[in-house]
Amino acid sequence: MMNINATNATNNVDWSKISDLITQGPKKASGDVQVNKDNSLTITVNDKNGVARSTTVSIPVLDKFDTMSPAEQQNALQTVDNTLVALSNQMFLVGNLSQEDANRLVAAINTLQQDTKNVSFSHDTSKVLFDIYALMALMVEVAQKQRDATREIRLVENQQIQNSIQAQADMIASAAMTALIMGIVSTAVSGVMSTVTMARQASAFKTQMSENQGLTSLQNDLKSASLANDPVAAMKNFSSVKSNTSQGIVTEVDAVFDPLAQNIDTTISNATTAVNNTKTELATAKQQLLDLEGQEPPAEPAALEQARTNVQTKQEAYDAAKLNLMTSERELFGQMDSKIKDVRTNIAQVQEQLDAKNAQLATAAEGDKPAIQQEITDLQGQLKNLQAKDNYMCAYRAKVKSQFASEGMRQMDLSRAQSSYDMGVKALEHNEKYMSAVQQMNRWTGVQQLSMAIAQLMGTIGSSLAENQRAAGQVEQKDQVQHQEQLDQIKDLHSQALTLVQSVIQLMQAVLSAENDSVLESIRA
């Protein structure tokens, strides 16, 4: 129903008659009309989607309504009625109506109404029909403009959705390819490192096990690794060793190890905090994804994809944090190990010199033996100090590892130290055949590790294929969205065409009815 507010009207138009005309007869109109002080009309109509649309027009007959005769005023009321009906119907169908199109529609209706009110038996019927068709063409043109504008907006939105889906598919495919490349590189590096490690182990065993001193070093390493897993025992052992070591050695070692320990404390604490934080963030992201996947009604695909991307990002951050912690531990404790290794190299050199002097003493002349014996005594003193230094360094390292090293590193070091010590003991108990067997065992271990790396690579390849397949699914989803958009356009055009035809038929009925009324008035006259 059309509601008319004429409180601001400045002429003598009987708006109640117009309201009665609108609510009667075959014509349909709904909305609100505000009569302005300049006699213009602001029309507000809810379109077929329920959205409020407004336009303001001026109807020429209202400007001279006060000076018209009663018959002319009646025709003017009919013109206003037809204008309101046409505008409200057109705004209901097409939504926003530009000011230019609204004015053209008003002018066409005014011209048509003028021709209709003057009709007589001698009236040119072709002129009336021409005006009807002109009005129909105008309505079709306005509706077509609105359809074009709406279609352009929808096409842009749809293209944005398709671009987003394509970008996500490209990102998934890129991530899958990156993971595959990293898996291949990791496998290759693992194989090379296994080969190099086996070769170095074989060479190191031959050199280290040549004397009992090698077993002593392994025993110190095993003790240090065992203590590292028991902080109380490690601290107790450190205090005991320190009290039995000369102050000069303690001062020398502390000057080197104290800064290292402080750096280890700061770096590993920060790295451990990063691991814990990223682990918590990963758990939260996974829970959010689970909540979205189980949500009813189902979540939007874009939201699910964003949640999966977030999980992948948090997983990468967590893996990077763990890798950083492991790398920091190896690098920092490796600096301590390097210092211990230097001491053991000096021990081996002094031991070699001592062995040479002992051999020289056995064949030396009696006059030369006192000097050689003094050199042997000096070398023995150096060896004792180096061994005490090695023992104190191992105790210091065990204390620091028990405080700051991760459990995984401590367990790994203990396993490696135990394995090395057991192999050292057996190497001393057996001959070269045992050494050959040990090397064979290492080769089999290397082969096993390489096989595991290859199996991991196959898993990475399978995961990469799955991700690529998911990317292909994203592209297929994009095609489905595009096809659905085309189908929606066809349905929309069909619906708008039917609605427009109905509107034109109603308009023609209104015009013909008005023409018929005019003819009857002419006959009565």
Distance CA(337)–CA(342), nearest Å, equals 9
**Percent of the chain at pLDDT exceeding 70:** 58
Q: Give, to the nearest 10 degrees, the angle between helix 99-117 and helix 432-524.
A: 20
Residue 496: per-residue pLDDT: 61
Distance CA(113)–CA(75), nearest Å, equals 8
The answer, yes or no, to whether residue 520 has pLDDT greater than 70, is no
Tens of pLDDT, residue by residue over 107-127, are 776 665 565 444 433 344 444
Residue 243: per-residue pLDDT: 93
The answer, yes or no, to whether residue 200 has pLDDT greater than 80, is no
The answer, yes or no, to whether residue 19 has pLDDT greater than 60, is yes
Residue 441: per-residue pLDDT: 66
Mean pLDDT calculated for residue range 453-466: 66
What tokens were used for 350? 């002094």
Distance CA(272)–CA(453), nearest Å, equals 27
Distance CA(411)–CA(225), nearest Å, equals 8
The answer to whether residues 435 and 206 touch, using CB atoms and an 8 Å cutoff, is yes
Residue 31: per-residue pLDDT: 77
Quickly tell me which residue has 């990156």 as its tokens.
178
**Which three-class secondary structure string do you get for 217-267?**
HHHHHHHHHHHHCCHHHHHHHHHHHHHCCCHHHHHHHHHHHHHHHHHHHHH
pTM for the predicted model, two decimal places: 0.40
Residue 219: per-residue pLDDT: 77
Residue 202: per-residue pLDDT: 53
Residue 489: per-residue pLDDT: 64
Q: Kindly report which listed range (8-12, 128-132, 374-378, 507-511) carries the lowest average pLDDT score.
A: 128-132
The answer to whether residues 404 and 264 touch, using CB atoms and an 8 Å cutoff, is yes
Residue 349: per-residue pLDDT: 92
Residue 284: per-residue pLDDT: 93
The answer, yes or no, to whether residue 333 has pLDDT greater than 70, is yes
Residue 517: per-residue pLDDT: 62
Residue 90: per-residue pLDDT: 73
Residue 230: per-residue pLDDT: 85
Tens of pLDDT, residue by residue over 379-408, are 999 999 999 999 999 999 888 888 888 877
Torsion of CA 26, 27, 30, 31, to 10 degrees: -150
The answer, yes or no, to whether residue 248 has pLDDT greater than 90, is yes
Tens of pLDDT, residue by residue over 434-447, are 556 656 666 666 66
Which range has highest mean pLDDT (156-160, 236-240, 411-415, 493-497)?
A: 236-240
Show contacts of 166-174: CB within 8 Å, 24+ apart: 166/474, 166/475, 166/478, 168/305, 168/309, 168/474, 169/471, 169/472, 169/474, 169/475, 169/478, 170/471, 171/309, 172/467, 172/468, 172/470, 172/471, 172/474, 173/467, 173/468, 173/471
Residue 125: per-residue pLDDT: 44
Residue 234: per-residue pLDDT: 87
The larger pLDDT score, comparing residue 402 to residue 474, is at 402
The answer, yes or no, to whether residue 229 has pLDDT greater than 80, is yes
Q: Smallest Cα–Cα separation from 184: which of 460, 408, 512?
A: 460
**Percent of the chain at pLDDT exceeding 90:** 18
DSSP 95: S
The answer, yes or no, to whether residue 270 has pLDDT greater than 70, is yes
Tens of pLDDT, residue by residue over 52-106, are 888 888 887 777 777 788 777 777 777 777 777 777 777 777 666 677 777 777 7
The answer to whether residues 90 and 97 touch, using CB atoms and an 8 Å cutoff, is yes
The answer, yes or no, to whether residue 281 has pLDDT greater than 90, is yes
Q: Kindly report which listed range (32-41, 157-166, 291-300) carries the lowest average pLDDT score.
A: 157-166
On the question of a cis peptide bond just before residue 297, with omega within 30 degrees of 0, the verdict is yes
| Gyration radius from the chain CA atoms | 48
The answer, yes or no, to whether residue 373 has pLDDT greater than 60, is yes
Residue 140: per-residue pLDDT: 65
Residue 120: per-residue pLDDT: 39
Q: What is the mean pLDDT of the chain?
A: 75
Distance CA(91)–CA(2), nearest Å, equals 13
